[in-house]
Structure 1
Amino acid sequence: MDTELFNELKDSIRQMKAIEKGELAPTRVRVINPENEVAQARMQLGMTQEAFAKLLDTPVGTVRGWEQGRRQPPPSAKVLMRVATKYPEQVLECAEDAVTYNSK
C-alpha cells in the first residue's frame, strides 16, 4: 500500500468518526444492500473499492465481485472486514506498519 493511499484511508476513518460524533455532516448518503457485508464494511469505513481492496491486499475486481454477489469472500477476509469495522484505527495502524516494513 503506498503512502498517499494510506493517508487517504486514515483521513476516511477520521471523517467517519467525526460524522458518528455529530461533529461533521455526511457529504452524501448511500443506500447499502443490508445483505452484502462487504459493501457494508467498506462504506462504514468510508473507503472506495480501490482503497478497501488495498487494505485487504486483494485485487479491486475481487472486491467488486464480492459486492455484486458474483463471489463470496473467503473466511479470512470476512474476519478482517469485521475487525476493521470494529477497530478501524488499529487495523490502519497495522497496515501502516506493513507499508513501512515493505518499503525497507
Structure 2
Amino acid sequence: MKNETIVLPADPNDPEDFDVTAQGLERGQRARLIRKTRTDLGLSQTEFATRFRVPVGTLRDWEQARVTAPDFAVAYVKVIGRHPEMVAQAVA
C-alpha cells in the first residue's frame, strides 16, 4: 500500500475517528453529490437506479463511498440533477 497524504488527521481524543486521505476525501465528496442529487429528486436508490439505468448495487457503493464514482458517473449525475426529465426520456 502506498503512502497517501493525510489531509485531515484523526482527533486524538476520539478513539473512533480516523485519518482522512485526499483520495478518501474526494470519494466522500463524490458520494455526497450523488446521494444529494438522488434525495433532492425524492427518489429511493432503487427508483433512481431504475429511472436512470444505473445498477442499484453500483449506486449504493458510490453513495456509501465504498467505491469512488468515476468521472463520467459524476458528470452524468450532475446532468441528471439539472435535467432529470430529459435524461429519463433519453435513456427510456
The TM-score normalised by the length of structure 1 is 0.53
Q: Which residue does the alignment assign to 1:89?
A: 85
> Which runs of no fewer than 5 residues in structure 2 stay unpaired?
1-27
Largest Rg, 1 or 2:
2
Matches of 1:92 and 1:41, distance apart in 2: 14
CA distance in 2, matches of 1:71, 1:88: 24
2:47 to 48, 51, 71: 51
Q: Which runs of 5+ in 1 are unaligned?
A: 1-33, 97-104
Identity percentage of aligned residues? 33
1:1-104 → structure 2 map (5 Å cutoff): 35=29, 36-96=32-92
Letter in 2 for 1:40: K
Q: Normalization by structure 2: what TM-score? A: 0.58
> How large is the Cα RMSD of the aligned pairs?
1.9
Deviation beyond 6 Å, 4+ runs, structure 1: none
Partner of 1:99: none
Greater share of residues in strand: 2
